[in-house]
């Protein structure tokens, strides 16, 4: 009986670990990869990119802040271009 309990606990623990891994990989890492792609494009002076992800958590806050920063950069570059013309 004790061995069955231990085996059951190990199997349950491994199942929970696998589920957590897939959730983190699919949900978090995929979103962070998209944010990273946009950040890399902006770092190469390509300000046309925007992160179009909708989320109501910390990732969503980061995305909206990131998009506002990119928009501010676009606006600032436009104003500088107008000033130099």
Kindly report, residue by residue over 5-43, the tens digit of the pLDDT. 999 999 999 999 999 988 888 878 888 888 888 888 888
Q: Is the CA virtual torsion 29, 44, 52, 76 positive or negative?
A: positive
pLDDT of residue 77: 87
Burial call 13-49: b when 16+ CB within 10 Å, e when fewer: eeeeeeeeeeeeeeeeeebeeeeeebeeebeeeebee
pLDDT tens digit string along 36-83? 888 888 888 887 888 888 888 888 888 888 888 888 888 998 899 888
Half-sphere exposure of 44 (CA within 13 A, CB side): 8
Query: Which pLDDT belongs to residue 45?
Result: 82
Cα–Cα dist 45/42, whole Å: 5
Residue 2 has pLDDT above 80, yes or no: yes
């Amino acid at each position: 009986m004790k061995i069955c309990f231990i085996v059951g606990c190990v199997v349950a623990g491994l199942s929970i670990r696998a589920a957590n891994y897939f959730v983190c990989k699919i949900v978090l890492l995929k979103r962070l990869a998209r944010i990273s792609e946009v950040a890399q494009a902006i770092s190469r002076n390509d300000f046309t990119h925007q992160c179009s992800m909708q989320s109501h958590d910390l990732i969503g806050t980061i995305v909206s802040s990131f998009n506002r920063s990119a928009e501010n950069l676009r606006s600032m570059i436009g104003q500088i271009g107008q000033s130099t013309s």
